[in-house]
Amino acid sequence: MRDVGGTLRFDDISIRTPLPLLPRFIPLLEGSDVAELDRVARCPAYGFRLRQVFSARTHQLSPSLTELGAHAALGLRDDQLAVLVGYGEDPLVEAFWTLRKADRLIEAIAAQGWDLVLAPNFSMYGNQPRAEHLINFRRSLMVAAELAAAGVAAVPNLYWFRREDLERWVAWCEKAHPPAIALNLQTLRTDSEWRLMGLPGLSYLAAQLPPGIAVIVNGSSRASRIATLRQLFGASLVLVSQNAIQGALHGKVITEHGWEVRHAEKADLFAANVRFYTRLVEG
């Protein structure tokens, strides 16, 4: 409780850093072969994982990112956006939380020059004590606020377990009016999880959120789910997904009929997958 400021309320936190102009689809990359992939795709933005920036093994920031900055280290052009997707497995994000002040991780990430950071999210499990849910919701907000205070365009991640959580998030958005919120849906793997946990909460947020807030979604790759998200959030929806590169790495391209094996270069497959997902999000 001391670590989260002695309260589980949200109303002392505000995040209002302006966002860059975002494309509707941001491909999430695994490696550093941006130049090879971008030769064909020419994407306006690329996403990169927290584990590429903050080592799960050493708990140190990447030396090249620290020395060169995000754009130069990743091989991005000046007119492309570098997006840090701060999600990761529990040991990684917990280490980031623990070390962020002692090792000045927030300031170091700000100095790397990311154009957008989706703040680390702290897990919510159904079998946790209720207080753990609330502590982790607040921690996710706190890290985003700390990044924003350091000058980063930061977006907080929202989780929920009860309707009460959704009501708290909407009340916070109405008061703080952040430019964007992030929703990490990659844990909703099964149809029942999507139907029983994801869809009711998403529908509530779509109906209750104040206008003008972008909704940045990570972890949805099925065409049917993306279509549902587009219906709920319309032009406010921004999708982040690793599927464009994952398919290309396995020699596959996504079509209206599903994944198909194609004998083509990785860069061409990746570009085709990016175009497909962009069309899905734009409708």
Q: What is the pLDDT of residues 196-221, one digit of tens each?
A: 999 999 999 999 999 999 999 998 88
Q: What is the predicted pLDDT for the residue at 21?
A: 97
- What does the pLDDT read at residue 3? 94
Cα(258)–Cα(224) distance, rounded to whole angstroms?
11
The answer to the question of residue 8 being in a domain is: no
Count of domains forming the chain: 1
* Per-residue tokens: 206: 């779509």
pLDDT tens-place string over residues 18-71: 999 999 999 999 776 899 999 999 999 999 999 999 999 999 999 999 999 999
The reply to whether 5 falls in a domain is no
Of residues 166, 165, 169, 168, the one with CA closest to residue 156: 169
Contact in structure between 45 and 81 (CB atoms under 8 Å): yes
Q: Judge whether 19 lies within some domain.
A: no
180 part of a folded domain: yes
pLDDT of residue 32: 65
Alpha carbons 214 and 208: distance in angstroms, whole number: 13
**Cβ–Cβ < 8 Å for 45, 26:** yes
Residue 227 lies in a domain: yes
* 128 Cβ contact list (under 8 Å, min separation 6): none
Q: Which regions in the chain score pLDDT beneath 50? A: none
Does residue 130 belong to any structural domain of this protein? yes
Rg (CA), the chain: 18
CATH number at residue 87: 3.20.20.70
Domain limits for position 234 = 25-282
The reply to whether 16 falls in a domain is: no
Q: Is residue 3 part of a domain?
A: no
